Amino acid sequence: MPATDAPPATDTAPPLVELVDVSKFYGNVKALEGVSLEVHAGEITCVLGDNGAGKSTLIKIIAGLHQHDAGRFAIEGEETRLSSPREALDRGIATVYQDLAVVPLMPVWRNFFLGSEPTKGVGPFKRLDVQLMRETTRAELLRMGIDLRDVDQPIGTLSGGERQCVAIARAVYFGAKVLVLDEPTAALGVKQSGVVLKYVAAARDAGLGVVLITHNPHHAYLVGNRFVLLKRGTMAGRHTRSEIALDELTRQMAGGSELEQLSHELARAPEPSHLGGHPTH
């Protein structure tokens, strides 16, 4: 389901995540400088940029891997400085990286609960509750619209799009309020990308705030409510859906005037005329 523009706030609830003029330095290198964004419940904020634009650094700050050096980072209105990914998870921020942390030979249900396996019994009789994990995995995937024939199959046998969808359903099940998706469609074809975007929209419709990191403006515009454009670690633009059309978003993403300049530089020089003798060299 396509996104609409960001709806007007009906209450005074602060954004789930808010960054204001956030900067990150590695020695003398400015990885991010003056970046701001908002993530609201039931919305998708798209962060667009080419390689080296600062997207990875931004993810690491929101996910608790790195701390920002300047600016303000707030979760539900409370200014914070996350010390670890576990703390981010405890605060409701789940990050799904492009290279999914799955064990390919383990079944889907085992990957779904990896690190958070429920048990039954006590003492020496304590064991994994396999039936609960199987049933829960199947039910949660179905709830997100993912109909897997067999949750016992190794997750490595699923397509890239299906694995992304399992990771999204897992984050929703374990209570994430904010879902950060790192280039979920980067290595996928058109059909599989469409499948993933469908489940990204399902997470949005379940009330999560979603941060979609991508270099594809077409994918972003299909589902996004807000757009933040990064270029060499700084903000090149910040728009809501009603403020920008797809062609303008694509132009800004592609570099706009820089691309026009490049096209002039690459334009072929006019061929010398062959009329009236040999071309001059």
pLDDT digits (tens, 9 = 90+) for 216-238: 999 999 999 999 999 999 999 99
Dist CA 113 CA 108 (whole Å): 9
Per-residue confidence (pLDDT) for residue 9, from 0 to 100? 47
Per-residue confidence (pLDDT) for residue 208, from 0 to 100? 94
Dist CA 246 CA 103 (whole Å): 38
Dist CA 185 CA 164 (whole Å): 9
Per-residue confidence (pLDDT) for residue 7, from 0 to 100? 53
Per-residue confidence (pLDDT) for residue 201, from 0 to 100? 93
Q: What is the pLDDT of residues 206-218, one digit of tens each?
A: 999 999 999 999 9
Backbone φ and ψ for 34, nearest 5 degrees, come out as: 65, 40
What tokens appear for 209 in the block?
């705030």
Enumerate residues 6+ apart whose C-beta is below 8 A from 145. Answer: 198, 199, 202
List of the chain residues with pLDDT < 50: 8-10
Per-residue confidence (pLDDT) for residue 1, from 0 to 100? 62
Per-residue confidence (pLDDT) for residue 124, from 0 to 100? 86
Per-residue confidence (pLDDT) for residue 105, from 0 to 100? 93
Per-residue confidence (pLDDT) for residue 55, from 0 to 100? 92
17-263: CATH topology is: Rossmann fold (3.40.50)
Per-residue confidence (pLDDT) for residue 100, from 0 to 100? 75
Dist CA 84 CA 81 (whole Å): 9
